[in-house]
Structure 1
Amino acid sequence: MADDYVRRTAITRLSVDGEQRDFLEDTISEWKRGCQLATDMAWDTCNAKSDIQPLAYDTVRDETDLGSQHAILATHQAAEAITGCLERRSNGKKVSKPTFTAPTVTYDTRTMTLFDDDTVSLSTTESRVRCPLALPDADDGYQRQYLDSDEWNVTESTLTARDGDYFLHIGFRRHKTDTEQNTAEDGTVLGVDLGIENLAVTSTASFVSGRKLTHDLREFEKVRAGLQRTGTRSAHRTLEQSSSRELRYVRDVLHRASNVIVNEALRYECDVIVFEDLTNIRDRTGASWGHRWAFRTLYEQVKYKAEAEGISVKQVGSAYTSKRCAECGFTADENRPTRTEFRCQKCESEANADYNAAKNIGMRYVRRGQQSSRRMGNSQLALKSGTVTPSGGFTAHPDGFEAEFMDKPHHQKSQTSG
Structure 2
Amino acid sequence: MAGNYVRRTVITRLAVSDEQRDLLEETISEWKRVCQIATDKAWNVCNAKSDVQPLAYDDVREQTSLGSQHAVLATHQAAQAITGCIERRGEGESVSKPTFTAPTVTYDTRTMTLFDDETVSLSTTESRVRCELVLPEIDEGYQQQYLDSEEWQATESTLTIGNDDTVLLHLGLRRPKTDAERDTAEDGTVLGVDLGVENIAVTSTARFFSGRNLNHRLRQFEKTRGGLQRTGTRSAHRTLREASGRQLRHIRGRMHEVANGLVAEAIRYDCDLIVFEDLTEIRENTNAAWGHKWAFSELYEKVDYKAEQAGITVKQVGASYTSKRCCECGFTAGENRPTRTEFCCQKCGSEANADYNAAKNIGLRYVRRGQQSSRRTGDSQLALKSGTMTPSDGFIPHPEGFEAEFTDKPHRQEANPPG
Query: Cα RMSD over matched residues?
Result: 4.5
Describe the superposition over 1:150-179 as per-residue Cα deviations: whole angstroms up to 9, x where unpaired: 424689x9xxxxxxxxxx9979442637x8
Describe the superposition over 1:242-294 as per-residue Cα deviations: whole angstroms up to 9, x where unpaired: 23332343333333322322222122111111111122423584344554333
Are 1:210 and 2:225 counterparts? no
Are 1:174 and 2:176 counterparts? yes
Are 1:336 and 2:337 counterparts? yes
Instruction: Decide which of 112, 129, 149 is 1:115's aligned counterpart.
Output: 112
**Paired residue type of 1:322:** S
Shift of 1:346: 2.0
**Paired residue type of 1:7:** Y
Describe the superposition over 1:342-386 as per-residue Cα deviations: whole angstroms up to 9, x where unpaired: 122222211111000000111111122223322235010001121
State the distance in 1 between where 2:241 and 2:274 align.
36
State the distance in 2 between where 1:253 and 1:324 align.
29
Shift of 1:305: 2.4
Shift of 1:398: 1.4
Describe the superposition over 1:134-158 as per-residue Cα deviations: whole angstroms up to 9, x where unpaired: xx98789979976886424689x9x
Describe the superposition over 1:116-137 as per-residue Cα deviations: whole angstroms up to 9, x where unpaired: 26879xxxxxxxxxxxxxxx98
Which residue pairs with 1:320 in the alignment? Answer: 321
TM-score scaled to structure 2, two decimals? 0.60
CA contact (8 A) 2:184 2:313 kept: no
Q: Give SS of 2:403's match.
A: helix
> Please, which moves more after superposition, 288-297 or 307-316?
288-297
TM-score scaled to structure 1, two decimals? 0.60
**Paired residue type of 2:368:** R
Which residue pairs with 1:23 in the alignment? Answer: 38
CA contact (8 A) 1:32 1:101 kept: no
Task: Specify every segment of 5 or more residues in structure 1 that has no aligned partner in the other structure, as ranges.
Answer: 35-60, 68-99, 104-110, 121-135, 158-167, 406-418
Q: Residues 290 and 326 (structure 1 numbering): CA distance in 2 closer, same or farther, change over 3 Å?
A: closer
Q: Give SS of 1:199's match.
A: strand
Task: Specify every segment of 5 or more residues in structure 2 that has no aligned partner in the other structure, as ranges.
Answer: 12-27, 55-85, 90-107, 114-119, 124-132, 157-169, 407-419
CA contact (8 A) 1:190 1:270 kept: yes
**Paired residue type of 1:254:** M
Identity within the alignment, %: 59
**Paired residue type of 1:176:** T
**Following superposition of structure 1 onto structure 2, how do residues 237-386 of structure 1 map, counting pairs within 5 Å?**
237-282=238-283, 285-288=286-289, 291-376=292-377, 378-386=379-387
State the distance in 2 between where 1:151 and 1:141 align.
18
State the distance in 2 between where 1:233 and 1:148 align.
63
**Paired residue type of 1:20:** C
CA contact (8 A) 2:323 2:357 kept: yes
Which residue pairs with 1:401 in the alignment? Answer: 402
Structure having the higher Rg: 2
CA contact (8 A) 1:153 1:174 kept: no
CA contact (8 A) 1:324 1:330 kept: yes
CA contact (8 A) 1:326 1:360 kept: yes
**Following superposition of structure 1 onto structure 2, how do residues 61-72 of structure 1 map, counting pairs within 5 Å?**
none
